[in-house]
């Protein structure tokens, strides 16, 4: 019996030892798997760093569908929400959620082929049915930007990776439209409060929105593309530029944008900071009043002004100027052509053209009405015009008084910084600020907008811009610059168009 008991104890001891060993192995294996998951989770973000960026103009919500505040688009488009088509830093169209697209010869059918492995940040698969639903919602619910989809006749998805869009008439701007809010693809199954939450397919998610204060973004662990360089980026909003600059100098934020030219100049003298410049879509224009009761309704007088104004000198002297312009289309816009040689500065030629008009035409002089921030530039332009014998009266007014004068059409010249990549369209619209009317230009613009493909569209825009410039509908002075200031350790940030869009995926601290 004793021997049997000893054998039993031995067998029990072996069992316990084996069981303990197995438990240890299982625990170790589970730990390795768990740790491996953690490692994978961390490695999906290139760098476990947090970056804070100072920006102005805080949005009151983050509902990119219904709130037209540009600050929402700047923060979320391309970062949290992605579009069917994307755009590069030169504003050219690039692959987005669609890796390619084709257009039929008649310009009526666009076929988009989606990228592989697309997912929303909640892990849901993104396929062609989500694209169809999103386009339908945009039109039916009249989301911001949906008015540009008015040519849509039918949308279909022959398979999960393909979307076809049929138009009622050609619209060569459709791919560009789908690079904006109208091209965002939403998750049909999402149930969120869009005013305070966001759910997209981009490299970031919104981890916190503090109204009027900040938007905190975290790397999207389910992102289908290349992981963002930083694990967290916070957009911190400032009520004024001076407090944003102070926060940058104190190290509270890593980058500040977009800055005024004067502030950027001041910061460029600080050896502890980096200041970079880029191209904006904005343009500063000397707008001519083409009304019948203005002397500038006469093309000869408009041409005289264009010869008298030295746009090259103006572009060189203005801190916010990127380059001289010669037409209504800027260097980042589709259809751009350098037209600066059409009216090279020539005081004698301008004076000769203007001499046809006696002093009775001028009254007390050309009515040059501007807002106060343009007073100095207006004085420079007036001086150049007066060298050709044309008297000019500059009036720099407060915003409300200025708007009254513009609305009542009591001006001959004014200065405007035109916002956006479609500002050329106003010269095909007789009801625009300049009230310029020319049947050839209007026909050319109409033909460009009905082109069956992008090549013919851009060729048409170039023809339109040349006609408008040769007829001196206005005097386009310069395209504007953007300014970014950052800590030296920060890299990967964009500089072009950051006043409109702010790609964050490559930004990181070294």
Report d(CA 93, CA 79) in Å as an integer.
Answer: 17
304 and 364 share a domain? yes
Highest mean pLDDT among 9-23, 35-49, 64-78, 411-425: 64-78
Report d(CA 247, CA 257) in Å as an integer.
Answer: 12
Nearest Cα residue to 411 out of 316, 300, 286, 318: 286
343 and 363 share a domain? yes
Structure confidence at residue 37 as a pLDDT band (50, 70, 90): very low
Reply yes or no on whether the pLDDT at 27 is more than 50: no
Query: Does residue 496 belong to any structural domain of this protein?
Result: yes
Pairing of strands 98-103, 490-491: unpaired
- Reported as a single tens digit per residue, the pLDDT across 335-388 is 999 999 999 999 999 999 999 998 788 788 999 999 999 999 999 999 999 999
Contact 132/155 with Cβ under 8 angstroms? yes
411 and 505 share a domain? no
- Residue showing tokens 């008298």: 308
Structure confidence at residue 17 as a pLDDT band (50, 70, 90): very low
Report d(CA 189, CA 130) in Å as an integer.
Answer: 9
Contact 125/141 with Cβ under 8 angstroms? no
Ramachandran class of 420: left when φ > 0, alpha when ψ lies in -120 to 50, beta otherwise: left
- Residue showing tokens 């289908």: 224
Q: Find the mean pLDDT for residues 272-283.
A: 97
User: Which of 27-36, 68-77, 303-312, 353-362 is the least confident region?
Assistant: 27-36
- The percentage of the chain sitting over the pLDDT mark of 90, rounded to a whole number, equals 87
CATH code of 503's domain: 3.40.190.10
124 and 53 share a domain? no
Backbone angles phi, psi at 492, to 5 degrees: 85, 10
Query: Does residue 11 belong to any structural domain of this protein?
Result: no
Backbone angles phi, psi at 204, to 5 degrees: -125, 160
Reply yes or no on whether the pLDDT at 214 is more than 90: yes
Question: How far is the first Cα of the chain from the last one, in angstroms, to the nearest whole number?
Answer: 75
Q: Where are the alpha helices (DSSP H) in 368-494?
A: 375-386, 399-407, 439-449, 454-470
169 and 291 share a domain? no
Q: How many domains does the chain have?
A: 3
Query: Does residue 192 belong to any structural domain of this protein?
Result: no
CATH code of 111's domain: 3.90.76.10
Pairing of strands 392-397, 255-256: unpaired
Nearest Cα residue to 337 out of 264, 216, 424, 263: 424
**pLDDT reported for residue 362:** 79
99 and 164 share a domain? yes
Query: Does residue 36 belong to any structural domain of this protein?
Result: no
Reply yes or no on whether the pLDDT at 38 is more than 90: no
Reply yes or no on whether the pLDDT at 32 is more than 90: no
Contact 180/166 with Cβ under 8 angstroms? no
Structure confidence at residue 48 as a pLDDT band (50, 70, 90): low
- Reported as a single tens digit per residue, the pLDDT across 79-106 is 999 999 999 999 999 999 999 999 999 9
For 304, the enclosing helix (H) or strand (E) is helix 299-308
70 and 86 share a domain? no
**pLDDT reported for residue 359:** 77
324 and 447 share a domain? yes
User: Which of 6-20, 182-196, 225-239 is the least confident region?
Assistant: 6-20
Structure confidence at residue 53 as a pLDDT band (50, 70, 90): very high
**pLDDT reported for residue 25:** 39
Longest dimension (CA), the chain: 136
Half-sphere exposure at residue 161, Cβ-oriented, CA atoms within 13 angstroms: 8
**pLDDT reported for residue 46:** 53
Reply yes or no on whether the pLDDT at 21 is more than 90: no
Nearest Cα residue to 145 out of 77, 98, 88: 77
Query: Does residue 20 belong to any structural domain of this protein?
Result: no
Query: Does residue 195 belong to any structural domain of this protein?
Result: no
Reply yes or no on whether the pLDDT at 152 is more than 50: yes
- In sequence order, what DSSP letters do the residues of 183-199 get, joined into one string? GB---TT----TTT---
Pairing of strands 232-238, 50-56: parallel
- Reported as a single tens digit per residue, the pLDDT across 155-194 is 999 999 999 999 999 999 999 999 999 999 999 999 999 9
Structure confidence at residue 400 as a pLDDT band (50, 70, 90): very high
User: Which of 38-42, 171-175, 245-249, 480-484 is the least confident region?
Assistant: 38-42
Q: How far is CA 126 from the centre of its chain?
A: 25
Nearest Cα residue to 214 out of 242, 233, 198, 200: 233
Q: Find the mean pLDDT for residues 218-223.
A: 96
Structural domain of residue 60, as residue ranges? 47-80+202-273+487-510
What DSSP character marks residue 227? P
258 and 300 share a domain? no
350 and 390 share a domain? yes
**pLDDT reported for residue 361:** 82
- Reported as a single tens digit per residue, the pLDDT across 103-125 is 999 999 999 999 999 999 999 99
Query: Does residue 42 belong to any structural domain of this protein?
Result: no
- Reported as a single tens digit per residue, the pLDDT across 437-485 is 999 999 999 999 999 999 999 999 999 999 999 999 999 999 999 999 9
476 and 508 share a domain? no
Per-residue CA distances from 116 to 97, 119, 454, 490 (Å) = 9, 9, 26, 32
72 and 209 share a domain? yes
- Reported as a single tens digit per residue, the pLDDT across 405-421 is 999 999 999 999 998 76
Q: What is the mean pLDDT of the chain?
A: 91
């Amino acid at each position: 019996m004793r021997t049997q008991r000893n054998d039993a104890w031995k067998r029990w001891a072996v069992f316990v030892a084996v069981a303990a060993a197995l438990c240890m192995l299982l625990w170790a294996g589970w730990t390795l798997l768990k740790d491996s998951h953690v490692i994978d989770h961390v490695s999906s973000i290139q760098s476990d760093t947090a970056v804070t960026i100072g920006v102005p103009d805080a949005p009151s919500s983050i509902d990119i569908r219904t709130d037209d505040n540009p600050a929402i688009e700047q923060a979320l488009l391309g970062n949290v929400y992605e579009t069917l088509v994307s755009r590069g830093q030169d504003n050219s169209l690039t692959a987005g959620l669609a890796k390619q697209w084709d257009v039929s010869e008649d310009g009526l059918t666009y076929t988009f082929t989606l990228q592989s492995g697309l997912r929303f940040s909640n892990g849901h698969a993104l396929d062609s049915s989500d694209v169809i639903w999103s386009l339908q919602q945009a039109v039916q619910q009249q989301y911001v930007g949906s008015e540009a989809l008015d040519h849509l006749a039918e949308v279909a998805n022959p398979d999960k990776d393909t979307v076809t869009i049929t138009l009622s008439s050609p619209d060569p701007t459709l791919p560009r439209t789908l690079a904006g809010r109208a091209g965002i693809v939403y998750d049909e199954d999402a149930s969120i409060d869009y005013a305070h939450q966001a759910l997209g397919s981009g490299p970031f998610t919104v981890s916190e929105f503090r109204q009027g204060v900040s938007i905190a973004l975290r790397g999207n662990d389910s992102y289908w593309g290349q992981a963002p360089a930083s694990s967290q980026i916070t957009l911190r909003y400032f009520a004024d530029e001076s407090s944003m600059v102070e926060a940058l100098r104190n190290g509270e934020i890593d980058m500040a944008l977009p800055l005024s030219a004067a502030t950027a100049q001041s910061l460029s003298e600080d050896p502890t900071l980096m200041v970079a410049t880029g191209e904006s879509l904005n343009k500063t224009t000397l707008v001519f009043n083409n009304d019948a009761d203005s002397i500038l309704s006469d093309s000869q007088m408009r041409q005289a002004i264009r010869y008298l104004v030295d746009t090259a000198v103006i572009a060189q002297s203005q801190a916010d100027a990127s380059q001289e312009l010669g037409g209504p289309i800027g260097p980042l816009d589709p259809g751009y052509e350098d037209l600066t040689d059409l009216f090279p500065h020539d005081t004698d030629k301008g004076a000769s053209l203007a001499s046809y008009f006696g002093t009775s035409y001028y009254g007390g002089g050309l009515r040059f009405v501007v807002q106060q921030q343009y007073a100095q530039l207006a004085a420079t332009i007036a001086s150049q015009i007066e060298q050709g014998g044309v008297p000019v009266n500059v009036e720099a007014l407060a915003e409300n008084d200025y708007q009254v004068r513009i609305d009542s059409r009591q001006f001959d010249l004014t200065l405007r910084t035109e916002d956006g990549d479609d500002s050329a369209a106003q010269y095909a619209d007789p009801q625009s600020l300049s009230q310029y009317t020319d049947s050839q230009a209007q026909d050319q613009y109409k033909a460009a907008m009905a082109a069956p493909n992008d090549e013919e569209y851009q060729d048409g825009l170039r023809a339109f811009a040349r006609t408008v410039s040769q007829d001196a509908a206005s005097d386009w002075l310069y395209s504007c610059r953007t300014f970014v200031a950052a800590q030296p350790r920060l890299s990967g940030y964009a500089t072009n168009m950051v006043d409109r869009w702010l790609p964050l995926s490559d930004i990181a601290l070294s």
